[in-house]
Chain A
Amino acid sequence: MPAKGTEAMVLIPRFDRDYSRRAFLENSAKGLFRAGVLGSAWAMFAKTGCSAAAYPDELLSVEVYTKGRIKNGDTIDANNVDYVKDLVDGVRYQQIKTLGRKMVVVPTTHDMNKLMPPPYIAATLRNQGQGAFDAKGNVVTKDGKLWIGGNPFPEPKTPIEIIAAHTLSWGRHDSSVYAFKEQDIDEHGNVNYQYTGAWAELATAGRITLDPKPYMHDHEDKLRYQSVIWSKPEDMKGMGFLNIWHYDQSVFPDLYGYLPEFKRVRKFPTNQRFETLNPGSQLYLSDAWAAGDPFMTWGEYKVVKRGPLLAGVSRGWTSETENWAHPTHGGPAGNMFWDTYVEMVPETVVIESLPVMYPRAPIGKKHVWFDARTGLPLVMVSYDRRGDMFRSFEGAYSVYDDGKARVMDGADPYWSWCLVHAYNVQTGRMTRLEQLAEVPGHKMHVNDPDIYEKYLTVSALQSRGT
């Protein structure tokens, strides 16, 4: 116990640890899922530009939470992870405890502009109070129009409002092309497969940056266009799939695919969303952004937990490595995990959902930890049909500004995902994804209207095929 009057000053919480727990329970009981223990985090942010005032100290500092056992800058490893066992999901706990995973703790980010793109935040504030569900369950404005941009439910009252808001805008940008590299590692640490390619997303409704907004003309029945096109390895070069999402979230997206074997684009069925897309991968189409399916194809949404979490929402990008590559560590061969920076996310809402429209899905249920402040998914853990822990999907986000260099998105530094761990608990196999500046044939783009014709049409798939 630190001496009174010295550093103990910063360690004495204003509220005891049970205060937060009680507050979370009480808020949940009242159907109040908005962020903030001491008040609305959104209201605080709108008023002061900072959400910290909405939380007691114990939720803002890992040092306070662990009573000084772990401080910012410390590395969490097998020796100290038990101090933060409540702050990590079960999969990461096991990875740290048994596989040599480490995470470096950094201070909590309170400026929401560094947790999401500022235009998305501006649209959320501008359109606050406008979000509603129509009779079918799709998100509309109060006067029944398609959603107009930003988070329609920044202060949610039901779990489906959190899911719906995130599904409407995965990447929080109107358009994105993510140049990615995937590495698939077996339980022995062997990198068996590597892939590069581009993942493209374009919003057709709720547009906030690209003209025309808020809707893309002639696409008013759609929500987004999304494609994934591989450039490596050789046998998959040019292979690509185009998902056209309907605005109606009870309808499966249309799926078109270009397979090098067929040399042409063909329409594919789209309900098989629990298949790996490429050999060795632990990723399902359903995993995308922890909300890869239309939200009404899942159901039985309920909040199963609320509380703080250690998660990667900053420092995930560095300008100091070539092509933004990320170093790795841990596992049998020292390459199983990305080097990850985590910070104390003061409040997460863990939502359970069931794949009600996928009777043969290998997944029985999934739990997704959403950052209550931003609505971003931080971790997803799914369970098999027997109820055993099955797979995890864990993202890390960041502003692409490390103080030495930055990548711009219009007037603001680019904000996006940086890293993904997709791990199969039952096999010990890992898929690591990272966003890079460029990969063969593709470069990162954000809010570029031209990506529609370059990535998101049948012609685009055909032209990128080899």
Chain B
Amino acid sequence: MKKRHIVLGAATIALLSGMDIQSAKAIDLQISGFVRQEIAVKITGQRNQNNQAGDPYNGVVTPWTGISAGAGLTGTTTRPASYSKDNTFNQFDTRFELNLDSHLSDSLTAHVKLRGVYNEIGRVEDAFRGTNFYGGSFGYGHNSGGNLLEVTSKDAMLDLPSAYVDYNNGALWLRAGNQQIAWGEALFFRVADQVDGIDLRRHSVLGVAGEEYSDTRVPSPGLRGSYHFEGDNDITIEAYAQKFSPTILPALNDPYNPIPSQFYIDDREGYDKVSGEMNFGAKITGSIADYGLAAFAMFEHDANGVFQWATARNAGPLNGQALSTYFGGALPTNAGGTYNNPAVPATNVLSSAFTTNPTGVYSAQEWFHYAAMSRLDGINGLNTSLNNFPIGSVPAAGLGVANACSAANGGAGNWGAGQINITDKATATCILNTFFFSGSLTGFLSREYPYQKIFGTSINHIFEGTPDSFLDQLIARVEVSYTPNKKFTAADLGPPKVHGEYQIAGILEKYYKFSTDFPATYMVGQYLHKSKSDIFGRYTGNLDTAPGYSPKGQTGGTNYFAFAMQQPSPTLKYRFDFTMLSDAQGGWLFQPGVKYKPSEHLQFDLYSNLVYSTASANTYTNFAQGAEWAREVFVRATYYF
């Protein structure tokens, strides 16, 4: 093996007679890393509906019912069919990582990791051509969208996910610099692992399950330390102060984009409010008898954030002339009676939560479809947007349209400003389609990162039984956290819902030898209960949705069951993995795979993500619905150096 251990000091290690090895002085720098090609191939005909290319309304002639001068109008509208593009690949990344480790002294070490990713999917697939994969809107400068120590272009990113110095002196350990902090007993379920947000760019959360969030947890500059107290209870106190860094969402029209691309998420304003804030946390761990115990507290800004309607800005605000023109006069009709986005000059700009945009929502049907898929309330979402961000002046635009449509559908027709309260699908459809006559609309959402406190505790225990029995060496872990007054995105995208939320995870882990010829099989079963949100953090009141109706909500919280097993080959050259996640609501994720490491330098991973829903397609009741497009096979070929 080629040596890359660079000795910089006078390290003639103990080759002199009588010299104590421990007195030798050396500063060394080690360089290591890898180059990897990552490719994911879609194995379903479904497309990611959150993207323009996967919108099921592309090219679909959709009935249109609006209103003009108090008279109902009908016709059709069609989202451009040319937007539809299929894709074979979901991922096509070339990545490298370079690690530099230095032993500065007996108590001081430094570690820096440089990560570079070149995303080629936009060159391989027309469906993603032109997508700005990494240049997000957090405004760190340098066209950067991720963490503080990264530079990006549209399809490449270079960052320092680790850049820290470790100081060890007896029982004291300090780590200063850019770092990830991972806490908790549970794997994948983030009960205690809530210190850092996650970076959903690259491969979202669909990488190798056994690697958990090691590549996605968002690093941030901070100081972390622990002190170990000698004694029977083996107590360690750990604390951190870390700069707030938000969860990073994939770009619109990224293969793994989870946000409908008819919406624009304005990350920047909310982020700017808290970008200088620090998060704090502390944890105490110890043991009593054979039980491992921990208690923790975190004081932080919610990295995932909450979303609300926001005032639209940038190019293409709502076309006021179109609204006032049509409302007071005749509606231009295209040939064939279709009202298909007439090109009306934007001469009368109106403030609202929407802008006209050719990649926006084209019809009420599309609006309701996406609202349900996003676990939002399409009707009350419209109410809130109209009340909180009135379109034009009364009664010329928003309110006037609302009253007219309501009256036309047998409802109230005299709402005042801020009082719009549509309750039926027909009225909402009328209002939406009338607006869409102005042009297809993109909704603007703000993202805020509210302050929250999280308190939790955990316990673990290893059972002992007769050799080879199920109980012998079975590890049981329980982890609980409680977040008082946690803020959740409201279904109407209005002010956040505020509730205390608790999470509880139960974990059973077992190594069991099924054969004397093979290493033990690792198995872990996990259960997660969340009292007020689902696994993606969506408020339970927003769940169980259907197009055109308000969410029914899911009472009693959400529950998840996971099972994973790993079976290495006798030489560990192969490892066969299987992971399963279900929500007991008909949502399933399976991830079978194999890791093949033929030599020190090479590794190949072949995995598949199989996302299925067994629930009715008419309602959205489980986590898999709306994500079944993610069925894929992915391969990683890595060369380590």
Residues of A at the B interface (CB closer than 8 Å) are 191-194, 217-218, 231-235, 237, 252, 254, 260-264, 266-272, 274-276, 278-281, 319, 323, 357-362, 384-385, 404-408, 414, 429, 437-441, 443-445, 448, 450, 453-454, 457-460, 462-463, 466
Contacts and interface: CB of A to CB of B under 8 A. Distances in A.
B467 A405 contact: no
Contacts of A194: 1, 600
A279 B571 contact: yes
B171 A453 contact: yes
B184 interface: yes
Nearest to A217: B230
B99 interface: yes
Nearest to A280: B571
Contact of A453 (B228, B231, B638): B228
Nearest to A355: B467
B599 interface: yes
A324 B15 CA distance: 9
Nearest to B468: A359
Contacts of B584: none
Interface stretch (B26-34, B490-498, B534-542, B612-620): B26-34
A361 B22 contact: no
Nearest to B575: A279
Interface residues of B, number: 87
B15 A450 contact: no
Interface in B488-513: 509-511, 513
A261 B210 contact: yes
A353 B18 CA distance: 42
Given A406-B18, A441-B101, A275 B520 contact: yes
Given A440-B5, A440-B30, A450-B170, 10 more contacts: A232-B32, A235-B603, A264-B183, A279-B571, A279-B572, A281-B572, A440-B28, A454-B168, A459-B171, A466-B113
Interface in B158-213: 162, 166, 168, 170-171, 173, 175, 180, 182-185, 187, 210-213
B468 A438 contact: no
Contacts of A441: 30, 101, 103, 109
A271 B473 CA distance: 7
Contacts of A262: 182, 187, 212, 214
Contacts of B18: 406, 408
Nearest to A356: B467
Interface string B1-29: 10001000001011111111110101010
A233 to B, nearest CB: 5
Given A408-B18, A462-B226, A280 B232 contact: no
Given A234-B640, A262-B182, A443 B24 contact: yes
A286 B175 CA distance: 34
Contacts of B20: 407-408
7 contacts: A192-B598, A233-B32, A235-B640, A269-B511, A405-B14, A457-B236, A466-B162
Contacts of B473: 252, 269-272
A440 B13 CA distance: 14
Contacts of A460: 168, 173
Interface in B204-242: 210-214, 217, 226, 228, 230-232, 234, 236, 238
Residue among A358, A445, A458 with max Cβ neighbours from chain B (10 Å): A458
Given A235-B603, A360-B516, A407-B21, A267 B292 contact: yes
A404 B17 CA distance: 7
A466 B99 contact: yes
A463 B516 CA distance: 35
B85 interface: no
B173 A261 contact: no
Contacts of B183: 264
B285 A438 contact: no
B519 A405 contact: no
A182 to B, nearest CB: 11
List of 4 A-B pairs having minimum Cβ-Cβ separation, nearest first:
A269-B473, A263-B182, A279-B572, A360-B513
Contacts of A358: 467
B171 A437 contact: no
Given A405-B15, A453-B168, A234 B641 contact: yes
Nearest to A183: B1
Contacts of A271: 467, 472-473, 511
A217 to B, nearest CB: 7
B14 A437 contact: yes
A443 B22 contact: yes
Residue among A234, A319, A406, A408 with max Cβ neighbours from chain B (10 Å): A234
B507 to A, nearest CB: 10
B232 A458 contact: no
A438 B26 contact: yes
A267 B111 contact: no
B577 to A, nearest CB: 12
B597 interface: yes
B168 A463 contact: yes
B460 interface: yes
A372 to B, nearest CB: 31
Contacts of B568: 275
Contact of A405 (B17, B103, B228, B598): B17
Nearest to A440: B30
Nearest to B602: A192
A278 B472 contact: no
B640 A445 contact: no
A276 B17 contact: no
B99 A261 contact: no
Contacts of B168: 453-454, 460, 463
Given A234-B641, A279-B572, A466-B111, A193 B599 contact: yes
Contact of A269 (B210, B462, B638): B462
A445 B391 CA distance: 75
A268 B572 contact: no
A281 B568 CA distance: 13
B178 to A, nearest CB: 13
Interface string B584-613: 000000000000011111010000000000
A279 B573 contact: yes
Nearest to B601: A233
A234 B33 CA distance: 6
B396 interface: no
A385 B517 CA distance: 10
Contacts of A234: 32-34, 99, 640-641
Nearest to A281: B572
Contact of A459 (B15, B33, B236, B638): B236
Contact of A362 (B467, B468, B509, B517): B517
Nearest to A363: B516
Given A267-B460, A269-B510, A440 B101 contact: yes
A21 to B, nearest CB: 36
Given A267-B475, A270-B473, A459-B236, A276 B16 contact: no
Contacts of A462: 173, 226
B474 interface: yes
A47 B490 CA distance: 88
B50 to A, nearest CB: 28
